[in-house]
Each structure stands twice: as C-alpha cells, then as structure tokens.
Chains A and B, each alone.
Chain A
C-alpha cells in the first residue's frame, strides 16, 4: 500500500478516534518516552558533572604537585651565580622532563613555561612550549595567574581538534630570572569519550525501553481490547440478525464474565425473537386459515345470494328486497374481510411489493373512469390536471390503484357534489398526486385521526360507498411500503386534500414533493373555473 504523506495527519487522527488500541499504545509510548527523556537527561547531566568534577580535581591536584615540583627544580637549580647563566636555558627542558611524567593524562599533556611580561631581571630564561602546545591560552587566565601566585588557576577550553581540555596555570619563580607562568593543558578527550559512551548507552537503552514499553502495552491492550472488540463485532452480527453468534467464554476473569453475561443476553434475546417470530408465524397461519375457512362458506353464500338476486324479479316485493339486501351486504362483507386480511398481513409483516415501471397518469385515469359513475350520481365533477413530464415510476400498480380508489372514493363520498380536482406531477426524485374535494372538510382533531383504523369522519353522515373504515389505514401502509408518503390537509368548510408522494426509483430518497400541500388554491380554482 502506498500512502500519500498529505493524508497522514488525517489518517492518524482517524486512527486516534476509532482505535482504542492505537490511542492507548501511543499515549503510553509518548508518556514513557517523555519519562525516559527526563530521567536520561538527568542521569547524563549528573554523570557528566561528576566526571568533570573528579577529573578537574585530579587535574588540579596534579597541577599543584607539578607546580611544586617545578618550583623545587627551579629553586634547586639556580643558585644566583651569574656564571651559571648557561644552565638557565636548559632549565625549562629539565622542568618539562620532570613535570610531564608526573601527570596522568593518557592523551598527553602539553606544557608551557612562559615568562611573565613586564620584568627586567638579571637573567632571562627563554619561554618554552612543548611542540604540540595548542593556542588556547586566554589573556584572562594569564592575568589571573599573574595576579594570584598562591593558587593554581584553571580554565576549560576546547582544543583545535574539538576535544575538551583543561588549562591549568600557576606562577613559578625562577631565582634571578623572575616570574614565569607554568601552563599545563590536560586533554580531556578520554573523559569526553567515556561521557559520549554513556550518552550513547543511555539513548540506546532509553529507546529500547520505550519500544519495549510500547510492545508490552500493545500486548496488554490487545489482551483487553481483543475480547471487547470481539464483543462489539458479535453484537453487530446479532443486530444484523445472526442470532446464533456467541463469544467464546474462557477462564474466570472479568473478560470471561463479560462474555458470559453477553452470551446470556444474546440467549434471552434469541429466545424472545424466536418466540416473536413463532408468534408472528402462528398469527400468519391463523390469518391464512381464517381466510380460507371464512372464504369458502362466503363463496357459497355469495353464489346463493347472486342466484337469488338474479331471480328477484320473480319474487314477492319483500322477498326481492331481501335478496337485494343480501346481495349488497355480502359484497360489503367481502370487502371488509379482504381489508381485514390485508391489514393483518401488514401487521404480520408478510407483504411484498411487486414493482414494475408504471405510468401514474394512466393509473389515475383508470381510477377516475372507474369512480365516474358514482361521482356523476353525486353530481361531483372529476377534473384531472397532469402537466407533461416523466410519470413513469417503479410501483406496485395493484396497491397504487387501491390507494387511488380509496382517495377518490372518499372525495366523492365527502365531496358534497362539488368539483374534485386530481393533480399529478413529478420532479427528478418523486412523483405525486393530490386529490382535492370541496366538501365539508374536517376539523383539526378529525384530521389527526384520519388514518386510524375504523375511524369515520362523522358517524351520522350518510354513507353510500360503504367503506370499511380501513381504506385510509391500508392506503397509508401501501404508501409507506413504497417508501412514499400519504399526507392530508383539511379545512372545515373548505374541503380536504390528500397528497400521495412516491419515490421515482426504489430506494432513492424523496427530495421534495412535486405538489404543494396545502394545495395550490389558485391553480385549483383555475381548473374548476375552466371546467
């Protein structure tokens, strides 16, 4: 896999958010790295201080004894006799040869014996430096040495090679030749080497420690998070309907307790769901059995009633009327039974859509044609407004037809003989239709109940269609099954408008309904006026 470096921050942030493991491990690593850094630095600083201190003490001691040695040599060698002037020139060499072996620096000590400036003495001894004497003497040190002859002075310097060093200076007096400054340069490269070795060890050790801590945390977090993650995955599977999923139970620790109680929960969940599924199956079976058991005798009654009805002309008037009533009521009973079965099918969740591309306008035209005789009887004019556009949609034509039948039937029923306007329109996401009557309308509390089962607008109102009281409830279920909406607007004294909105394609969301609710009154008035 290749990563684009620009996406890295986002990736890390996302990991941080979603992965408990990542969060825990990185927090631990960061904190322990910080702790290691602090301790390491402290250790390093104190080691280097110690090292320097002890070395410098040693150097000072050595320097002091070197000073004493040099002074002794000088004192002993010079007697003050001017004849011995020749000898004075060999003195620095003697001093150096004696002094240098007394020092302990492995890296070698540089030596210088310099005449303090500004003296005039009987004799002059030449200043000497060992050949490798570095140019590190500062004026400040020389001044300090000259100013205080009692003590040994030192200064840390850096050699041209980059190695640290100590310059120790003291004043010696050469009889008859005056004051000289004795400088010894102690190379501290070895101490520095020791120090950088310690430093390296500390860095490596610290790094290894952090990595180790990271690995340990990772392992431990895995041990803890693993089961939790497994529990999360398992519960997702459970939620997705794989009721057999369980977490393996191991040991007696808290994780095992989690697994056990989780599995217990899953068991009871599964049991409940199975029970419900069983109940639903029993319900479905019952409905289907009732359907069969009721329908067979009903068919017989229907056939008998129709035979009688067809021959009613030959009957006594009262018998003929009885045959008519029987005929009509058997039909009503049939519709009621069919509606009840449909509702119980919905309740059992045993409903499937049979989708096919359908022209909604054609369906509406058919439905209007079917209801027209009744509308004519009631004096209601049926007006269809369908501006051009794409009206094809994936729907279950049988169910949409049923919704239309219900809406139009209601409109005619409650339309009080006034015009009924049906509008069909579509947009890119949805198709919609509205059925607007100009009847008595409903009060707000009635509107709220309109989709309830067996609810009737006004029990005292006369009914002609003989609806079952289930029509709108079923229509709402049908619309919902299509992932559509069935809504109502009504105003007492003005009329009622139902709006059905269906997605143009199954599974696509409805962005907006192509028709307004409350309805576009001016458009409706225009249609009514134009008719």
Chain B
C-alpha cells in the first residue's frame, strides 16, 4: 500500500505541486492548510510521514510538531523558509526528524521522504545491550529493566546505529549519512539536537550521559569508553 503523507502548508500552489511530485513518486498525499486543525487531520488520516511548514496560520508549525510528537513517533520533516539557526534548532528540538529549506528540489524531497520511510535495516535479530539498556532490534523496543522506553523511529535508528558497533566512534558526518541518508556535507546540528533528545529519554542523568557518550572533537559512541 502506498505511504500516506500529510502535507501541512498554507500555500495552496505549493501544496498542490508537492502533491503532484509525491503522487508521481507513488505516495498518497493528504493536505491540511491550517495549523489549528493539523493535529486533528493527523489523527484522522494516520499518515506515515508529515511534511510540516513552520509558518502556518492558526497555529505555529513548531507547536503542531510538538503536539504530534506527544502522541506519535511518525517521521516529521519540516519545511522552512528560513535557514536561520534559531528556527531550525527550535524545529528540531520540538521533535522534527529532518528539515528542508525552501526552495528545495523534488529529488531531494523524495530522497528525504524515502530515507525516513525505509524500514530500519535489521541485519541482526538479536537483542543488543548498551549499558543497562536492552535494545530489541526486531521488536523495535528499548527497555531499561522492565520499563519500556518510547523512542521515535529516528531515535531508535540513531541508538541502533551506535549500539551495533559499540567499539566505534561515530563522527557526526557518519551518523548523518547512516541515519539521515545525507551523502554530502549537511547540517551537523541535526545530529546534535537528536542526540540531546535521545539522551533525554534513555539516560538516567542526561547531563552525565552513559549510554550515548560524547567523544570530544570527534563525535559519539555507545557506552562509556
């Protein structure tokens, strides 16, 4: 079945054009032009992915993003007209998985969507252990003891990427390529912000991380060194 994609944008022409591109690529787009009813539309259509404009009438895209995140881990790609640091970081912090700066081209858009929709590569069906965390690869589940920790697919993928090779230190660029599918220099803030979000969920003390540790000047690795 074709993946349903919710396009939340107030510009009808752009929405329609994105719709044309998505349809031609085999996706099924649904639209919403008002931030105030975006969450409602999300509940109604249960999309597989959300394309979310940051500047919306009714309700700010960032607010919409955090509201969707509260109830679902569905991939969200922000569409933003501003590449200014604060907007992008605020969007990512509110839970967006990725962002695209307008104007983008269709190939880029489709590539981003496909990366987010692809199933997590699970070569191993094992259960991985990082610190006191059990990562069930096949079941897409992370537990500390008996407590289940809810991660979005992206956060799960990020944790998995690190957990699969606990000996390796991952640079931000490596993670961008592996998790986000960027094959060229991209914004390393994506990694920074999502590592923060991941830590907030999996670490017992996010200020003193033990699961995802920083290797100064290089990147991140799983577990303490």
Contacts and interface: CB of A to CB of B under 8 A. Distances in A.
A292 B55 contact: yes
Given A303-B106, A366-B185, A296 B217 contact: no
A357 B81 contact: no
B25 to A, nearest CB: 11
A307 interface: yes
A303 B18 contact: yes
A310 B21 CA distance: 11
A304 interface: yes
Q: Is the interface of A mostly helix, strand, loop or mixed?
A: helix
A330 B14 CA distance: 16
A468 to B, nearest CB: 15
Given A291-B82, A352-B85, A401-B185, A298 B21 contact: no
A300 B185 contact: no
Interface in A58-89: none
A238 B15 CA distance: 51
Interface in A296-317: 296-304, 306-307, 310
B17 interface: yes
A292 B18 CA distance: 17
A295 B21 contact: no
Contacts of A27: none
A354 interface: yes
Contact of B20 (A292, A299, A307, A352): A307
Given A307-B24, A366-B185, A299 B104 contact: yes
B145 interface: no
A334 interface: yes
B62 to A, nearest CB: 15
A292 B106 contact: no
Contact of A299 (B24, B55, B84, B102): B102
Contact of A302 (B20, B55, B82, B103): B103
A357 B218 CA distance: 10
Interface string B54-90: 0100000000000000000000000001101100000
A306 B106 contact: yes
A288 interface: yes
Interface string B100-119: 00111111010000000000
Given A303-B105, A354-B85, 18 more contacts: A292-B82, A295-B103, A296-B14, A298-B103, A299-B104, A300-B11, A300-B13, A300-B14, A300-B17, A303-B14, A303-B21, A306-B107, A307-B17, A307-B24, A352-B85, A357-B217, A366-B185, A401-B185
Interface of A: 288, 291-292, 295-304, 306-307, 310, 330, 334, 352, 354, 357, 366, 401
24 contacts: A288-B82, A288-B84, A291-B81, A292-B55, A292-B82, A295-B102, A296-B11, A296-B102, A297-B11, A300-B13, A300-B14, A301-B103, A302-B104, A303-B14, A303-B21, A303-B105, A303-B109, A304-B17, A306-B107, A307-B24, A330-B103, A352-B85, A357-B217, A401-B185
